[in-house]
Chains A and B, each alone.
Chain A
Amino acid sequence: MGSFEYFQPANLSEAMDLLAAYGKNAVVMAGGTDVMVTLNAGELSANCIIGISEIKELKFIKEENGVLRIGPLVTMAEIINNKLIKEKFKSLWKAATMTAGPQVRNLGTIGGNLGTASPAGDLIPPLMVLDASLITVSKSGENVVKIADFFSGPKDTILRADSLIREIRIPFLPKIGASSFEKIGKRKAMSISVASAAAVVTASTDKMKFANVKIALGSLAPTVVRAEKVEERLRGRPIDQKEISEAAEMVREEIRPMTDGRATAWYRSEVSCSLVRKALWDALSELGAGRQ
């Protein structure tokens, strides 16, 4: 059986050594909001927890050469309190404000949200539409992964047992660009998403047409997915109600919602169009483009 161990590496290098040694039987814990639930229920199969929450080099928010660089240990609360993220990466900011409650937001991290990879993880759709990339690291070196390539299934990522996410990088949006996030849940706080949508919209200089559109959907498929048909449909089109409504209807073809304890597949499909429309109009109003 082997006894249970808890390690708390003080820096990244120690963490790498521990992961190399214990990786397969260990679980990495950042804020603990997922791991501790499993542990408390007596359901943790790993016999080792590597707690990375004290690794200071993994907690940072900085701007460099048109790119936002975030450490994986940045908490939801820290995202919410960051002025730059609120102004320039509204989608990520809004998703953080709508996740769980204050106590969980003080613990839960962006790296954890990615690592747990729940299709209902609220930070994931924003990171998708913001074209984030992740830097993963292990003893053997670093890798850059585009967020679209990071998830391999529900609660499954390409992250190897000996690796950690070291950094999340998000390019700044062009000037005529804005992002948004909408979700449907059971109540106004402490609510796991039934369906969610994040959007990035960039407009033409005269703000009359869509230049580019990106839409990512949460809790509507086994992993977070991009609504590529809707995006294609809107590129270059005039910004008006008819275009948006017609395009939003197409989202039903791009999702594979399931029936679970929170909602049926039917409901998720029905509300997906409304969500996409809301997310688009929210981003547009940030831009000051179009009129609903």
Chain B
Amino acid sequence: MDKRAIKFVLNGELVEIYITPKMNLLTALREEIGVTSVKRSCERGDCGACTVILDGKTVNACLVLAASIEGKTVTTIEGLGLPPNLHPLQEAFASLGATQCGFCTPGMILSAKALLDENLEVSAEDVKRALSGNLCRCTGYAKPVQAVLSAARAMRESASILSGTDVTTRAKVPVVRAGKATGSRHEGGE
């Protein structure tokens, strides 16, 4: 099968890779570039583990033909931040226990990022809906939802203090709980 070159923007950088016509974006990212944060799971668009942001919208990378992304923009979790400069969402997921085995986490955070890019005034229902295409077995979604709400709050507070500046990497995430658990109630609100 003939390989051909395509160029696209990955996490802000122009990349060129060689792909075959049947290759999906998931395979192209993992095997041609080595971005293994995009996970291979069902390859049917049923689980969201391969979620990436393509031209501003979340999609399942397994449902996108690599040949079709010439000239487009792809964002994976690395594009949000790498330690020590983490995006508030990444900080929130890490510090609030919203990640256990971590397999669904990159995709889930990208879904949350796409949500917060459109709207920072999100309710728990908005968050659940935005995450509804990312299956998770470990967390029961409770702490991920809490983490997204926490990150949204941090980003709103930063934005109001320093409006006009890109503050996403400087927003500080409030730690909701320290020490002994008193139980958490995850209801409709925060």
Chain A residues in the interface with B (C-beta under 8 A): 3-6, 8, 29, 31-33, 36-37, 39-41, 49, 51, 53-54, 77, 100-104, 106-107, 188-190
Chain B residues in the interface with A (C-beta under 8 A): 1-2, 21-22, 24, 43-46, 48, 51, 57-60, 62-65, 67-68, 111, 114, 129-130, 132-135
A102 to B117, CA, bound (A): 14
Cβ contact within 8 Å between B24 and A36: yes
A106 to B58, CA, bound (A): 7
Shortest C-beta distance, B190 to chain A (Å), equals 21
A117 to B150, CA, bound (A): 42
Residues of chain B within 8 A (CB-CB) of A51 are: 65, 67-68
A3, A32, A101: which contacts B65 (Cβ < 8 A)?
Answer: A32
Given contacts A51-B68, A100-B45, A106-B58, 10 further A-B contacts (CB under 8 A): A8-B67, A31-B63, A32-B64, A36-B65, A41-B43, A49-B21, A51-B67, A101-B133, A104-B45, A107-B59
A102 to B43, CA, bound (A): 16
Cβ contact within 8 Å between B65 and A103: no
How many A-B Cβ pairs are below 8 Å? Answer: 90
Q: Considering the complex, give the chain A residue whose CB is closest to the CB of B107.
A: A103
Cβ contact within 8 Å between B24 and A40: yes
A259 to B168, CA, bound (A): 51
Residues of chain B within 8 A (CB-CB) of A54 are: 68
Cβ contact within 8 Å between B59 and A36: no
Q: Which 6 A-B pairs have the closest CB atoms?
A: A101-B133, A189-B132, A106-B57, A40-B43, A6-B21, A36-B63
Cβ contact within 8 Å between B21 and A5: yes
28 contacts between A and B (CB under 8 A): A4-B21, A6-B22, A6-B68, A32-B63, A32-B64, A32-B65, A36-B45, A41-B43, A41-B44, A51-B65, A51-B67, A77-B57, A100-B45, A100-B133, A101-B133, A102-B58, A102-B130, A103-B48, A103-B63, A104-B45, A104-B133, A106-B58, A106-B59, A107-B45, A107-B59, A107-B60, A189-B129, A190-B132
A190 to B51, CA, bound (A): 15
Residue among A31, A40, A49, A101 with most chain B CB within 10 A:
A101
A3, A8, A32: which contacts B2 (Cβ < 8 A)?
Answer: A3
A162 to B9, CA, bound (A): 34
Residues of chain B within 8 A (CB-CB) of A188 are: 132
Shortest C-beta distance, A22 to chain B (Å), equals 13
Shortest C-beta distance, B136 to chain A (Å), equals 12
Shortest C-beta distance, B27 to chain A (Å), equals 9
Cβ contact within 8 Å between B67 and A104: no
Residues of chain B within 8 A (CB-CB) of A37 are: 43-45, 63
Residue among B43, B46, B68, B129 with most chain A CB within 10 A:
B68
A250 to B114, CA, bound (A): 46
Q: Considering the complex, give the chain A residue whose CB is closest to the CB of B62.
A: A40
Cβ contact within 8 Å between B51 and A103: yes
